[in-house]
Amino acid sequence: MILMSINKNSRQPVFQQIFEQIKIIIEEDILSIGEKLPSTRKLAESLGVHRTTVYRAYEELWAAGYLESNIGGNSRVRQRPLIAKSNSDLEISTFDWSYRFSNAANLLYPYKELSTNANNVLLDFRPLSPDADLLPIDDYRKCMNTVLKNDGANLLNYGSSYGYKPLREQLAKQLQQHSISTSANEIVLTNGIQNGLELVLRSLCNTGDCIFSESPSYTKGLWLMKFLNLKVVEIPMTQNGVNIKALEQNLKKHKPKAIYTMPTFHNPMGISSSQEHREQLLALCEKYQIPLIEDGFEEEMKYFGKAVLPIKSMDRNKMVIYMGTFSKILFPGIRIGWIVAAEPLITKLGAMKQTTELSGISITQAAVHEFCKRGYYELHKKRIHRVYRKRMQQALQACREFLPLEFIHYSKPEGGYLMWFTLKNMAITESQFIQLLSNSGVAVSPGSQFFINKPKKVHFRFSIAHRKENEIRDGIIIIGNLLKKL
């Protein structure tokens, strides 16, 4: 018989008292492995408590690993050999992981979570994601409810490695707005553009292969290329897209597996290339027979200026790999991007998706499809265009009004969230400048992170995504004042 004392006036529930006492009895080996505990009825009687109370204590003991599953009879003390505890007194000979990593793992950029409000930053112009205040959460929630109710069992099973077909069909239709003619067979859904770019690069490149990137370019795209151990040739950007002349010179010297470009609302520069520039770029790809990876991450975010079509719309030879995403217009957190490309490549990408993670999350893809089908997407786009258009106009106007143009140059985007600033005639380093701005309560993204070969000039990226018009104005006034003081 086990000796236990229960205090019914204690603030600790009775079941927990039983739990704690039996736990000690087992840990002290008073009850050994394999020994039976009294039945719940017996123990309840002897303690004068309700049988369900004892039952609950046993359940907890089982959950904590002290008892064997009580199927078919009395509970027994469980064998717990050599259990490794975090706070164990046992001497632990730690396994040395440091020299166990692959070459690729050693090329990884260390991951740090972004602290958005460090250093008393009041005005944060770093985040490249939609303003939390403008997210259509309630409409999305309705769509999620509908698809869970109507087709939950099916959508919560493993899905197609190409992604939920109705959403691919919907995307093919939407892409017509940008004069891209395609169909669901030429589309694979990805976990955002980052995953899309990885799939594409892995499908085309071996370790050590050459790839062309614009300079500056998307930081995490560059990290990815480094992780895949690619040789990145940086082609300088102009204010009208990548330098075509420099591109051709490099095409004569190298044979890249692909060229990576962001013609529309470029990250980090915010600019878009002209239709003529796009034709030239595609013509070069055709001439040298090099696939073009066109990143249209903010394609839908045009606020003003003449319509310019994606390069993919002119792609008669199907050598352009077009990538898009819902991250910058709906939610980054749903991780839905897409790749549009020739079918032989899409087939490979589907197989790679299958091999690396089976499939994406169909239920999320179905909810977004419902969101588009109901017209919420077009409505939402119009609504946020109104807001961001004003913010971008405010930013451009404040730059004209408050910046000393002898010391700074800024890009003039027609959409998206980003502007790019370059200091002129200033004897200051990037980190000094970023620090001074930060002291004044303004955070921007240091420009050097968008290059592999560190730039000579000081640049920074400025995102209007998360700031109201007056904050944008204030931020630019602070930048202007700092420049005038220096």
What tokens were used for 370? 């419902």
95 CA to centre of own chain: 32
Instruction: Tell me which DSSP letter residue 414 carries.
Output: S
Which residues 27-56 are close enough to bind its own copies by CB under 8 A?
none
Q: How far is the CB of 79 from its own copies (least distance, A)?
A: 6
Q: Which of 141, 270, 280 is nearest to 216 (CA)?
A: 270
Residue from 24, 63, 118, 122 in contact with its own copies (CB under 8 A): 63
Q: How far is the CB of 31 from its own copies (least distance, A)?
A: 16
**Cis, bond preceding 404 (omega within 30 deg of 0):** no
C-beta neighbour count of 351 within 10 angstroms: 13
Using the contact rule CB under 8 A, the part of the chain among 10-18, 86-94, 265-273, 396-404 near its own copies is: 86-94
The whole-angstrom separation of Cα 409 and Cα 237 is 15
Q: Does 379 bind its own copies (CB under 8 A)?
A: no
Residue 90 vs 427, nearer CB to its own copies: 90
Q: Which of 369, 383, 396, 261 is nearest to 329 (CA)?
A: 383
Residue from 167, 224, 247, 483 in contact with its own copies (CB under 8 A): 224
Residue 306 vs 485, nearer CB to its own copies: 306
C-beta neighbour count of 350 within 10 angstroms: 18
Residue from 8, 9, 28, 100 in contact with its own copies (CB under 8 A): 100
Q: Map residues 325-364 to x or -, x wherever contact with its own copies holds by CB under 8 A.
A: ------xxxxx------x-xx-xx-xxxxxxxxxxxxxxx
Residue from 9, 32, 88, 425 in contact with its own copies (CB under 8 A): 88
Strand partners, 238: 241
Q: Does 10 bind its own copies (CB under 8 A)?
A: no
Q: Does 452 bind its own copies (CB under 8 A)?
A: no
The whole-angstrom separation of Cα 282 and Cα 482 is 42
The whole-angstrom separation of Cα 452 and Cα 197 is 18
Residue 183 vs 238, nearer CB to its own copies: 183
Q: Does 220 bind its own copies (CB under 8 A)?
A: yes
Q: Does 137 bind its own copies (CB under 8 A)?
A: yes
Residue from 8, 29, 48, 81 in contact with its own copies (CB under 8 A): 81
Q: How many Cα atoms within 13 Å fall on the side-chain side of residue 3?
A: 1
Q: Does 217 bind its own copies (CB under 8 A)?
A: no
In order of 49, 204, 217, 260, 300, the CA distances from 293 in angstroms are 71, 11, 13, 5, 18
Tell me the site size for its own copies, rule CB under 8 A: 123
What's the Rg (C-alpha) of the chain? 30
Q: Map residues 239-258 to x or -, x wherever contact with its own copies holds by CB under 8 A.
A: ------------------x-
Q: Which of 75, 16, 6 is nearest to 40 (CA)?
A: 75
Q: How far is the CB of 360 from its own copies (least distance, A)?
A: 7
> Residues with Cβ < 8 Å from 285, sequence gap 6 or more?
259, 291, 292, 319, 320
Residue 275 vs 438, nearer CB to its own copies: 275
Residue from 113, 120, 253, 485 in contact with its own copies (CB under 8 A): 113
Q: How far is the CB of 34 from its own copies (least distance, A)?
A: 10
The whole-angstrom separation of Cα 429 and Cα 436 is 11
Torsion of CA 176, 198, 280, 128, to 10 degrees: 70
Q: Does 3 bind its own copies (CB under 8 A)?
A: no
Using the contact rule CB under 8 A, the part of the chain among 44-52, 109-117, 293-301, 432-440 near its own copies is: 109-117
Q: Does 223 bind its own copies (CB under 8 A)?
A: yes
Q: How many Cα atoms within 13 Å fall on the side-chain side of residue 456?
A: 3
Residue 101 vs 118, nearer CB to its own copies: 101
Using the contact rule CB under 8 A, the part of the chain among 102-110, 242-250, 391-399, 449-457 near its own copies is: 102-110
H-state helical runs in 341-420: 343-357, 362-373, 376-402
Length of the chain: 486
Q: Map residues 290-329 to x or -, x wherever contact with its own copies holds by CB under 8 A.
A: -x----------xxx-xx-x---xxxxxxx----------
Residue 163 vs 270, nearer CB to its own copies: 163
Residue 65 vs 404, nearer CB to its own copies: 65
Q: How far is the CB of 167 from its own copies (least distance, A)?
A: 14
Residue from 48, 72, 73, 375 in contact with its own copies (CB under 8 A): 72
Exposure letters 194-204 (e unless 16+ CB within 10 A, then b): bbbbbbbbebb
Using the contact rule CB under 8 A, the part of the chain among 11-19, 156-164, 235-243, 435-443 near its own copies is: 156-164
Which residues 162-181 are close enough to bind its own copies by CB under 8 A?
176-179, 181
In order of 192, 338, 344, the CA distances from 163 in angstroms are 12, 9, 17
Q: Does 192 bind its own copies (CB under 8 A)?
A: yes
Q: Does 108 bind its own copies (CB under 8 A)?
A: yes
C-beta neighbour count of 164 within 10 angstroms: 26
Q: How far is the CB of 270 from its own copies (least distance, A)?
A: 18
Judge contact between 163 and 187, C-beta under 8 A.
yes
Q: How far is the CB of 482 from its own copies (least distance, A)?
A: 29
Torsion of CA 5, 6, 12, 17, to 10 degrees: 60
